[in-house]
């Protein structure tokens, strides 16, 4: 247990540009008493300051069901899916209105995005969600993400927004995930039951010892206990994102973390972000098809590290969908690279040998200007 008591002097967020910030129901709704405008306004003020510093931030917020319960006068969280859906539908209106009004005070727009597990399991919808989020961040809009409780069933729901936040971190390859909770961080035991419990300052994400120590859910408002946060950190680490679990009631917690202060529990990802993705692509045993490249495209990929444009493709082989991993081969058949393709095989065949500015005229729409973006490609 000694290795769980390391004191860290610097925040893992110090050099992070893209952050996923998750706030729990108890924080957003002041322990279920209704939306806490003061708290939400404080986070909006902090996030706006970080945005001015060039940070890109996605906010994953619980609170729709809890707010709906308050509006409907329900004292106990329902267990029936239809009642949860009804509460979410009522509460989501107030939640989004609150965020929009608080961020508007700082000249920032927000965007509501509701997701289900099915959205991120389907490769085409996964890429669509990724493109939307990337575009919003480029436009300096703050995406507000929540689980789409109004349509989920038991089979497709995330179950907690900690998991959702980790999936979003993977989706946009964020540098760090910040989980704000009503606890100071992860303890060696439940501090509400054990006065000798010690705060764990720094550990490695995915350490099984942490999962064994983590307790269950501690609130009747939200659904996530400390274990879900540990598992979320483990999931986020798979794409190279560090995780910080800290109290959302700490004054200026996001600004202090960004300044380097080591608040709460920091769980370090051992996998480097770029290596994690490249390794996944390189290890993809089954590819959906092949793109045969001309000599110019091969040279550009190998020596200049650029994206693959349609004009460099001479032949499309196999049947694949947008979001599949395909092989890029030379005219002699040598595999040059693998990557996630932005168009299906039929579309790729229509736009090959064409300039990117002709895609819309040929297809009637444009998903991306590249067949495969360099960020979604690994050279072999």
Domains by residue range for the chain, with CATH: 2-271 (3.40.1160.10), 278-379 (2.30.130.10)
Q: 102-125 pLDDT, tens per residue?
A: 999 999 999 999 988 778 777 778
Distances in whole angstroms, Cα of residue 267 to Cα of each of 144, 212, 373: 24, 15, 30
pLDDT at 38 (0 to 100): 94
pLDDT(153) > 80: no
Q: 283-326 pLDDT, tens per residue?
A: 555 788 999 999 999 999 999 989 999 999 999 999 999 988 89
Quick one: which of 270, 266, 246 has its CA closest to 203? 266
Burial of residue 216 (CB within 10 Å: 0-12, 13-18, 19+) is: exposed
Q: Full-prediction pTM beyond 0.85? A: no
Q: 25-51 pLDDT, tens per residue?
A: 889 887 767 789 999 999 999 999 999
pLDDT at 155 (0 to 100): 52
d(CA 160, CA 312): 44
Q: 228-242 pLDDT, tens per residue?
A: 899 999 989 988 899
d(CA 261, CA 14): 8
4: tokens are 């769980």
């Amino acid at each position: 247990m000694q290795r769980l008591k390391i004191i860290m002097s610097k925040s893992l967020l110090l050099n992070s540009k893209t952050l996923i910030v998750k706030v729990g129901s108890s924080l957003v709704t002041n322990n279920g008493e209704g939306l806490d405008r003061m708290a939400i306004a404080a986070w909006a003020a902090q996030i706006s300051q970080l945005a001015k510093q060039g940070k890109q931030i996605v906010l994953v917020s619980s609170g729709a069901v809890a707010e709906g319960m308050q509006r409907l006068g329900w004292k106990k969280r329902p267990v029936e899916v239809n009642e949860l859906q009804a509460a979410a539908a009522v509460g989501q209106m107030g939640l989004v209105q609150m965020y929009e009004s608080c961020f508007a005070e700082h000249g920032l727009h927000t965007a509501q995005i509701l997701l289900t597990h099915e959205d991120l399991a389907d490769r085409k919808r996964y890429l669509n969600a990724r493109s939307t989020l990337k575009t919003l961040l480029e436009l300096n809009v703050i995406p507000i993400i929540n689980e789409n409780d109004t349509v989920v069933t038991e089979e497709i729901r995330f179950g907690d927004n900690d998991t959702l936040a980790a999936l979003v971190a993977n989706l946009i390859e964020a540098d760090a995930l910040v989980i704000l909770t009503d606890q100071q961080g992860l303890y060696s035991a439940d501090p509400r039951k054990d006065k000798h419990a010690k705060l764990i300052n720094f550990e490695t994400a995915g350490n099984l010892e942490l999962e064994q120590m983590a307790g269950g859910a501690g609130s009747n408002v939200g659904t996530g206990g400390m274990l879900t946060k540990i598992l979320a950190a483990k999931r986020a680490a798979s794409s190279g994102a560090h995780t910080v679990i800290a109290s959302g009631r700490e004054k200026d917690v996001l600004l202090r973390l960004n300044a380097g202060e080591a608040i709460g529990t920091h769980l370090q990802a051992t996998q480097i972000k770029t290596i994690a993705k490249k390794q996944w692509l390189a290890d993809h045993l089954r590819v959906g098809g092949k793109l045969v490249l001309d000599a110019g495209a091969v040279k550009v990929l190998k020596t200049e590290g650029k994206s693959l444009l349609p004009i460099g493709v001479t032949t499309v082989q196999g049947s694949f969908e947008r979001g599949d991993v395909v092989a890029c081969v030379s005219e002699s058949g040598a595999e040059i690279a693998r990557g996630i393709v932005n168009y299906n095989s039929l579309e790729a065949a229509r736009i090959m040998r064409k300039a990117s500015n002709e895609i819309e005229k040929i297809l009637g729409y444009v998903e991306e200007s590249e067949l495969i973006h360099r960020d979604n490609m690994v050279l072999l």
